[in-house]
């Protein structure tokens, strides 16, 4: 059973969705406006997966640039 909440995206401030899955014990926050994604364990609060285009500028793009220059 899933519980869906309307929240504000912590990344861009627009409307985002938080889905609480009681069976899987995970909480998934996703924003369609900026591709923000956060998957947390709803029991421990531990972050399983997180992706935010604006919050992590030193992510994939920088890694791929440095590997090309070598
Ligand atoms: Zn957003």
CA–centroid distance, 15 to ligand 1, in Å, is 7
CA–centroid distance, 1 to ligand 1, in Å, is 25
- On the question of pLDDT at 9 being above 90, the answer is yes
- On the question of pLDDT at 13 being above 90, the answer is yes
CA dihedral 65, 67, 69, 70 (to 10 degrees): 170
pLDDT tens per residue, range 21-69: 999 999 999 999 999 999 999 999 999 999 988 755 554 444 444 444 4
CA–centroid distance, 13 to ligand 1, in Å, is 6
Model's pTM, two decimal places? 0.71
CA–centroid distance, 27 to ligand 1, in Å, is 16
Provide the CA 54 distance to its chain's centre, in angstroms. Answer: 11
At residue 1, the pLDDT reads 75
At residue 55, the pLDDT reads 58
At residue 63, the pLDDT reads 44
CA–centroid distance, 26 to ligand 1, in Å, is 20
- Residue 20 near residue 2 (C-beta atoms within 8 A): yes
- Cβ within 8 Å of residue 46, ≥6 positions away: 40
């Amino acid at each position: 059973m899933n519980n869906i909440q309307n929240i504000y995206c912590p990344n861009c401030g627009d409307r985002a969705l938080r889905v609480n899955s009681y069976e899987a014990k995970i909480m998934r926050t996703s924003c369609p406006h900026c591709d923000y994604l956060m998957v947390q364990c709803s029991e421990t609060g531990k972050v399983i997966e997180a992706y935010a285009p604006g919050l992590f500028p030193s992510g994939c793009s920088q890694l791929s640039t440095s590997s090309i220059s070598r």
